[in-house]
């Protein structure tokens, strides 16, 4: 497959056309942002970790019946994916109170919730990805009720599979963000799953092993990304 013109550059990835109409070429960057782009930096080799980790996790999810955009790795930083049309939604799945949920509801980070919480945000950087509910989604036609039903079901299965997988590798999955796209009329899982998009805490010490190290200036950022990759590869 040939890499053709760039279609889009996001905060963490570049998407290119290919000579196959239904495939994109994704390049993972080392650029890191937080707080809707207010904080900027570089995490050396983050692109490699996130590319490889997403490949491992999307293959695992496919094996559990979740359709994903992942096709194959090209090299350390790049992968082929199905040419999806991304729905303008960020789906947040939470098992343990942390981050914006802890702040919003005045909870201490680390409180295990009785049930898994799903949240939707409208994917719009200029607006800071505001939280929305299903009424907004249908009123603004961001997705159909059928698509949202599938998204909710898939997100909960993804959570079950990933919680178990990470725990087997010594990590607690606190929360994460998913994006979905439409491919040949069907909703499939897209984007990435990486320490940028998950909160992962060491299962024994609760040490933060994700992008919060960058967001909160905790140090050891690069080492932590590498450690997460080696754990899940091991
Ligand atoms: P939050 O607690 O800041 O709302 O984040 C919830 C989860 O979503 C956390 O695992 C980080 C992830 N996330 C993203 O992947 N992209 C984003 O832009 C934000 C705000 C959070």
| Residue 227 counted as domain residue | no
| Residue 142 counted as domain residue | yes
pLDDT at position 234: 86
pLDDT values of the chain reduced to their tens digit, one per residue, 234 residues: 999 999 999 999 999 999 999 999 999 999 999 999 999 999 999 999 999 999 999 999 999 999 999 999 999 999 999 999 999 999 999 999 999 999 999 999 999 999 999 999 999 999 999 999 999 999 999 999 999 999 999 999 999 999 999 999 999 999 999 999 999 999 999 999 999 999 999 999 999 999 999 999 999 999 999 999 999 998
| Residue 231 counted as domain residue | no
Question: Which CATH number do you get for residue 12?
Answer: 3.30.200.20
pLDDT in tens, 55-100: 999 999 999 999 999 999 999 999 999 999 999 999 999 999 999 9
| Residue 234 counted as domain residue | no
| Mean pLDDT rounded to a whole number for the chain | 98
| Residue 229 counted as domain residue | no
Who lines ligand 1 at CB under 6 A?
92, 98-101, 129, 175-177, 197-199
The reply to whether 141 and 96 lie within a common domain is yes
**Last residue of a domain, which of 67, 82, 97?**
82
The reply to whether 100 and 129 lie within a common domain is yes
pLDDT in tens, 136-149: 999 999 999 999 99
The reply to whether 65 and 106 lie within a common domain is no
Dist. CA 90 → ligand 1 center (Å)? 9
The reply to whether 192 and 180 lie within a common domain is yes
Dist. CA 34 → ligand 1 center (Å)? 9
Counting the structural domains of the chain, the total is 2
Dist. CA 142 → ligand 1 center (Å)? 20
Rounded Cα distance, 58 and 54, in Å: 6
The reply to whether 92 and 67 lie within a common domain is no
Tally of residues, the chain? 234
Q: What percent of the chain has pLDDT over 70?
A: 100
For a mutational test of ligand 1's pocket, the pick from 174, 175, 189, i.e. the residue with the most ligand atoms closer than 8 A to its C-beta, is 175
The reply to whether 29 and 135 lie within a common domain is no
Dist. CA 197 → ligand 1 center (Å)? 6
The reply to whether 101 and 61 lie within a common domain is no
**Last residue of a domain, which of 63, 82, 101?**
82
Residue of minimum CA distance from atom 2 in ligand 1: 99
Residue 12 token pair: 């963490």
Torsion, Cα 150 153 156 158, to 10 degrees, reads: -60
The reply to whether 113 and 149 lie within a common domain is yes
DSSP annotation string for 147-187: HHHHHHHHHHHHHHHHHHHHHHTTEEEEEEEEEEEEETTEE
The reply to whether 103 and 177 lie within a common domain is yes
**Last residue of a domain, which of 82, 116, 140?**
82
Question: Which CATH number do you get for residue 210?
Answer: 3.30.470.20
Dist. CA 65 → ligand 1 center (Å)? 25
The reply to whether 148 and 172 lie within a common domain is yes
Residue 10 structural domain? 3-82
The reply to whether 64 and 98 lie within a common domain is no
The reply to whether 65 and 115 lie within a common domain is no
């Amino acid at each position: 497959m040939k890499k053709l013109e760039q279609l889009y550059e996001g905060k963490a990835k570049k998407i290119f056309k290919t000579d196959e109409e239904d495939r994109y070429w994704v390049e993972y960057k080392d650029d890191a942002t937080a707080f809707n782009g207010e904080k900027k930096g570089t995490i050396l080799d983050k692109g490699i970790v996130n590319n490889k980790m997403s490949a491992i996790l999307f293959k695992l999810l496919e094996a559990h019946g979740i359709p994903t955009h992942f096709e194959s790795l090209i090299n350390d930083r790049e992968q082929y994916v199905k040419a999806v049309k991304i729905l303008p939604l960020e789906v947040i799945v939470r098992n343990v109170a942390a981050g914006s949920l802890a702040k919003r509801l005045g909870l201490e980070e680390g409180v295990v919730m009785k049930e898994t919480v799903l949240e939707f945000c409208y994917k719009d950087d200029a607006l800071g990805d505001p939280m929305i509910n299903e009424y907004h989604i249908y009123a603004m036609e961001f997705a159909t009720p059928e698509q949202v039903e599938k998204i909710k079901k898939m997100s909960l299965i993804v959570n079950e599979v990933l919680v178990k997988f990470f725990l087997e590798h010594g990590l607690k999955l606190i929360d994460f963000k998913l994006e979905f796209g439409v491919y040949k009329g069907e909703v499939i899982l897209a984007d990435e799953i990486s320490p940028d998009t998950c909160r992962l805490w060491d299962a024994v010490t609760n040490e933060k092993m994700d992008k919060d190290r960058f967001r909160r200036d905790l140090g050891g950022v690069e080492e932590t990304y590498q450690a997460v990759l080696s754990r899940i590869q091991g």
